[in-house]
Chains A and B, each alone.
Chain A
Amino acid sequence: MVITDRGEIATETVTINLGPHHPSTHGVFRMVVTLDGETVVDMVPKFGYLHRGIEKLAEERTYVQTMPLVDRLDYICPMTNEHAFCLAIEKLAGLEVPERAEYIRVIMDELTRIMSHILAAGFLWNELGATFTPMIYAFRQRENLMDLFEMASGARMFHNYIRPGGVVADLPEGWVTQARKVLDTLDRFLDEFDALTAENEIFLVRAIDVGVLPAQLAVNCGISGPVLRASGVRYDVRLAEPYSVYDRFDFEVPIQKHGDVYDRYRQYIAETHQSIRIIRQALDALPEGPVRNEKAKRLRPPVGEAYARIESPKGDLGFYLVSEGGQQPYRCHIRSSCLMNLTALRQMVIGHKIQDLVIIFGSINVTMADIDR
């Protein structure tokens, strides 16, 4: 035993590797964690395991051919990725989008937001150790939503539905009725889920005051999305730079006060309620008309560049496109919301225990596919 000058027993820190093979991380992600006993002293994130070169591949494909790749960027919320990409193309090419298509896009976006937030809430419980039970309840609702997407686009996950100039095809018959039914089920599910989980004592002791992200740090790091709003900053791209037809809907942007894991959980549930509100308004106001701009079929945008961003369920997702007049973009860059949100992780976990690290990482709800692109 080594005794230091101050008469204490000298201890050493242990460096362990959490991942990339790890049952709980949201994708393949490696964290090199330095521990002093149980407490995290340092954390170095190492990502890149899921890098597929989407930005490079986009340079060799036409805009529509890149759409399936863009789908697979953040696979939990494919529609919002497509929407962001299409906004950038439409800005670049000066395309008009028909009314009905705009409303459909909003509905799909918000449904995707619900899907993503339900998954976030469910997976947080998985990491807390509740043996998958709340996760499976949440996934049951996700299945209902994926059925809706399959009805509209033909695919459960990678829809390839939103295209430059509109959406690829109109909603089938009975979709609107089915959507309303699903929303009613969702309302009941959210109430039940909240009643079962929000006041659970073990959850309260593990989530309150854990992984606090101060508002100033969040703004400085460029955090966006529910994580930012849970820290108390009311910033939402739908309000700051309204796109599509969001300015026609009446919805609130909830914020929380403390920015800990519990507040992020509350934020996901609150935003889901707001999304349901928007979808109901959109379904009621859905106009008739074409759903695709016919001129968009052979896209040769003029020389120029465009940047468009949307409020994806994870945060501020942006696409930067540079065109040289051809059918393929010269450069496509993706401003990944998850990557920016990940940068604050180190500050959030230092000083906490390993088990807290796992739930903090779960609460910021990042998808590695979006980070690595």
Chain B
Amino acid sequence: MGFLDTLPVTIMQWVRSALSPYLPVWGSELVVALAKVVLALVVGIMPVIVFTWMERKVLARGQDRFGPNVAGPFGLIVAFADAIKILTKEDVIPAAADKPAFRLAPALILIPALLVIAVIPFGRGAIAADLNVGVLYVIAMGSMTALAVLTASWSSGNKYSLVSAFRAVAQLVSYEVPMAFALLAVVLVSGSLSTVRIVEAQAVPFALTMPIAAAVYFLCALAEANRSPFDLLEGESELVAGFNLEYSGMKFAMVYIGEYLHIFLIGALTTTLFLGGYRGPILPGWFWFFAKSLFVVFVVLWIRTTWPRFRIDQMLDFAWKFLVPLAMANLVVVAVAYKITSDVYMGAGLSLLANLLLLTATVVLLVAWARRSKSRRVRALILGEV
């Protein structure tokens, strides 16, 4: 098992040693770096193909129907069929569009997502670039989405697109704040911003020691990726397709891949930061990593199948008035819990206890507020008085 576990690292070593007689040091290092890039891209984009298929199957089965089963056995070829379909469509650029920005925007959506793949540890030692500011890098790349969405919709020259983009930017920017607080708790406990060090620090996965941070991070990641229940951008029943209304052909394909890559990144980052990354018994590290990511992605799709969507003001209220105070309180509570003891497992247990107390306090406060409230909506939601 040790061999399989460190297979990516072994491959890179082999490449380096195979080339070193023929090339100077910087030459072989350059080739190894390029090989790492290629491998990371392949490993990062393969899940996108799988998830296209998985989404359609999971949604279909949830809706009591079959889903794609004609294109290939169990519809497995459907991602390629989709790709061929999209690429053969006419690439229309509206007359009122701002052409350079219109052409640039899909790249702006796709490239930051691709760049995040660099800091995800797929297995032991299998990381393209072990930056010592990994988490900060991830947050920075996530922030690029807001700019990309605004560029895409403004350059489309379409009123509907613009109105959607305003809402999108408000949503994206608002949800970065609780996400940062949740990640701060993780960084505080593991003592480093590097993703590899965070995985190594999870003798007990952080989802068990700080479930509030995990839940907050998951919801914020859903909002950043514009997925249900925060998907007003794609709300077909509202302003049709939102910022990617005017895109077709290859540009739409890039936006589409970017979106699915975001979903995979939700899975990968939740796994790395909260579920213990590649840690797991017996089976090789990369297997555990992909299994955990797949599970998280399945939950994302499950939520899409079943939950309706929020209204924009309710969504923003939820972020600012509920998630931000909760994430801040969680940070304080976890910091205190880990400071009290120096033993890892004691700290984990205390942190879990502290989280549960925080949850209880939140529920008590919410119920007390709801009892005093005159709003039917609040009373129905919290006290169940329909």
Contact = CB atoms under 8 A, between A and B. Distances in A.
B215 interface: no
Nearest to B241: A23
Contact of A23 (B231, B240, B307): B240
Given A136-B63, A198-B386, A206 B159 contact: no
A203 B310 CA distance: 9
B380 A208 contact: yes
A209 B238 contact: no
A205 B386 CA distance: 11
B308 interface: yes
Interface stretch (A106-114, A156-164, A302-310, A354-362): A354-362
Interface stretch (B24-32, B80-88, B142-150, B311-319): B311-319
A199 B160 CA distance: 33
Given A209-B376, A356-B311, A16 B160 contact: yes
A140 interface: yes
B238 A133 contact: no
Interface of A: 14, 16, 22-24, 35, 38, 125-133, 136-137, 140, 198-206, 208-209, 258, 262, 353-356, 358
B237 A127 contact: yes
Interface in B206-265: 228-229, 231-232, 235-240
Nearest to B229: A202
Given A14-B163, A126-B237, A355-B232, A204 B306 contact: no
B159 A38 contact: no
Contacts of B314: 205-206
A24 B308 contact: no
B321 interface: no
A262 B381 CA distance: 12
B40 to A, nearest CB: 32
A355 B308 contact: no
B386 A262 contact: yes
A355 B235 CA distance: 9
Contacts of B377: 204-205, 208-209
A81 to B, nearest CB: 27
B268 to A, nearest CB: 24
Contacts of B305: 131, 133
Contacts of A132: 63
Nearest to A352: B311
A136 B64 contact: yes
B281 interface: no
B380 A133 contact: no
B304 interface: yes
Interface in B56-72: 59, 62-65
Contacts of B236: 23-24
A130 B380 contact: no
Contact of A204 (B235, B312, B381): B381
Interface in B310-343: 310-314
Contacts of A23: 236-237, 240
Contacts of A137: 63-64
A8 B377 CA distance: 31
B384 interface: yes
Contacts of A355: 232, 235, 238, 311-312
B308 A203 contact: yes
A102 to B, nearest CB: 37
A291 to B, nearest CB: 36
B229 A129 contact: yes
Given A38-B312, A129-B228, A208-B377, A202 B307 contact: yes
A200 B381 contact: no
B232 A208 contact: no
Contacts of B159: 14, 16
14 contacts: A16-B159, A16-B163, A24-B236, A38-B167, A129-B229, A129-B231, A129-B232, A129-B308, A133-B62, A133-B63, A200-B308, A202-B308, A205-B381, A355-B311
Interface string B295-311: 00000000011111111
A140 B306 CA distance: 17
Contacts of B65: 136
Contact of B238 (A131, A205, A354): A354
Given A16-B160, A137-B64, A205-B377, A353 B231 contact: no
Given A16-B163, A38-B313, A262-B386, 17 more contacts: A14-B159, A23-B237, A24-B236, A24-B237, A128-B308, A131-B228, A132-B63, A199-B384, A202-B307, A202-B308, A202-B309, A206-B311, A209-B375, A209-B377, A353-B311, A355-B235, A355-B238
Contacts, number: 97
A241 to B, nearest CB: 33
Nearest to A197: B308
Contact of B308 (A16, A130, A199): A130
Given A16-B159, A129-B228, A201-B381, A206 B308 contact: yes
Nearest to B317: A205
Contacts of B63: 132-133, 136-137
B380 A204 contact: yes
Contacts of A24: 236-238
Contacts of A200: 307-308
B92 to A, nearest CB: 17
Contacts of A205: 310-311, 314, 377, 381
Nearest to A21: B240
B307 A208 contact: no
A202 B384 contact: no
A202 B386 contact: no
A253 B9 CA distance: 72
A28 B221 CA distance: 37
A209 B228 CA distance: 23
A199 B386 contact: yes
Contacts of B238: 24, 354-355, 358
Contacts of A354: 238-239
Contacts of A126: 237
A127 B384 CA distance: 23
Contacts of B240: 22-23
A305 to B, nearest CB: 43
Contacts of B160: 16
Interface string B139-174: 000000000000000000001100100010000000
A115 to B, nearest CB: 18
Closest 10 CB pairs of A and B: A129-B309, A128-B308, A24-B237, A130-B308, A208-B377, A136-B63, A129-B308, A23-B236, A204-B380, A127-B237
A17 B231 CA distance: 22
Contacts of B381: 201, 204-205
Contacts of B313: 38, 353
A203 B381 CA distance: 9
A16 B228 CA distance: 26
A14 B163 CA distance: 10
Contact of A125 (B229, B308, B380): B308
